[in-house]
Structures are given as structure tokens and as C-alpha cells.
Amino acid sequence: MLFRSPAERGVPPVTVTQSGENWTIAGSHTTVTLNGADLSLSVRRGGTEWRMLPSSDGDLLAGIDTTRVKLRLADARKREVSKYFSGYSTGVKVALSGYASGGKSLDLAMQLFVTLETPEDELVCRIVPSEKTAAVKECRWPGGFAPGSTDFTVVPFMQGMLLPVNWPRKVWLYDTMSWGRGLYMPWWGHMKGKSAALVILETPDDAGCVFEHPAGGPTAIAPKWVHSLGKLGYPRSARICFFDTGNYVDMAKRY
């Protein structure tokens, strides 16, 4: 039996390097840098840089019996970052465990995967939970694009919304879960100059977004993964597609 190389199997060339806490995943078109300490991401595509927010307080909500505990995803006492290759995607795996609250350890672990896939270097962020006596009620990762770093936000809110970053009035969604009036379809995107970025919730059930646009902006929107029958239960995945030149039409076509 002949074992073909990744290139022969159609897997795009991707390299993974480490410098301190930063892990760089470099494809043919896109370069992604993950900070393993705070779980922030930065992406360079062409001449455009996209910055995504780090882990923050409350982005992980755990449940023990009837008690709810707010945690910070990046506050795991044990963290192991390593290269990852699945056969069709290449990137980094982050294993998180050792969460605690009130001096008590929580029997909970998370695996995060940051990979590039397809010849277009699409960024895929996956969450795989390991829940035992503690369960995940909600997780918010990856962080949204840094507020104020984009020009427009596109949301399939009812007939569709193209929202300037500095829109003078407060904006809210009727519902922030997939398939509702706020997200008719499980995606949203941003425009920055001539470039664009599209976020697709690949596991849209039990998923939605966290959205905020105060009067005058800026806009903040990020994925929100909620429990199913009391726990996260199954892997969750978001795919982020970048366009050197693109707008809301390109986003809708890609979706």
C-alpha cells in the first residue's frame, strides 16, 4: 500500500511554529496566530489584519447540580498546546483542565482546535468538551473581532442588516439563537476596507451569538454555544472565511 503525502491527497500546505506563548499557523493565503495563554487569535490575509478578542471572565459557564459557576476559559490550571493534524486540517490543539471555583476543583476539561482547512485557508475553531460531575452550560469561544476594528457588520437579521461600526443609535437583535428572528441563518460577517470575513456556525443547533451595539458603536458580536439537555454534550464548530475583496453578497454566496 502506498502512503501519499498531504499534498498528493489534496491537503493544502500549512506550517505550524511556536514562539513563546504564540503559535503561528501559516497557509498559502492566511496566517493565524494563537496566543496559548489568553486564547486570542490574530489573522493576516493579504494586506489586512483581523484581531479576535482574548478569553474573558464568564466566557465559560459551568454547572454542578443546580449551581452555576462563571469561569474564564483561559483560567484552566493545566494547559497543553500542541501541533495537530487530522488528515484534512492542520493547526493547533489546546487541552485545558484543572478548573476550580471557590477552592474546589471541577471535574471538567476542554479541548480547543484551531486549524486551517481547504485550499482557501478557512479558519476552523472547534470545541470538544469532557464533562463528568461538572457540565458546561455555555461557552463563548472564539472571541469576536475586536470592536472598532471593522467598518461594517453583516447579520441575517430578518431581511438582513448592514450595520456601520459607528451607527448613532443603539441596535439589538430580537433573538440571538440560530434560526430565530435575530439570526435567520447561522452566520454573520464583517467588512473592513475592501476585505471581508464571514463566521459560519457549523453546528448551529444550540448555538447563537452575543451581540451588542450601543449608540454610536462599536459593534461586538461573537459565537455563543449553549447546553443541550444540561451539558455541552457534543463538539461545536465555527468556520471563519476570509475574502481579500468581498462584501455581504460574497458572504451569502459562501454560506
Task: Show pLDDT as tens, one digit a residue, over the chain (255 residues).
Answer: 455 566 666 677 899 999 999 999 999 999 999 999 999 999 999 899 999 999 999 999 999 888 899 999 999 999 999 999 998 999 999 999 999 998 889 999 999 999 999 999 999 999 999 999 899 999 999 999 999 899 999 999 999 999 999 999 999 999 999 999 999 999 999 999 999 999 999 999 999 999 999 999 999 999 999 999 999 999 999 999 999 999 999 999 999
What is the amino acid identity at position 244? D
The CA-atom distances, in angstroms, between 94 and each of 11, 31, 152, 167, 241 are 22, 18, 31, 37, 21
106 CB-near residues (< 8 Å, 6+ apart): 62, 64, 69, 71, 99, 100, 133, 134
* Cβ atoms 139, 63 nearer than 8 A: no
pTM for the whole structure: 0.93
Number of helices (H) and strands (E) in the chain: give both, helices first. Answer: 1, 21
Instruction: Please state, in angstroms and rounded to a whole number, the distance separating the CA atoms of residues 161 and 198.
Output: 14
* Cβ atoms 176, 222 nearer than 8 A: no
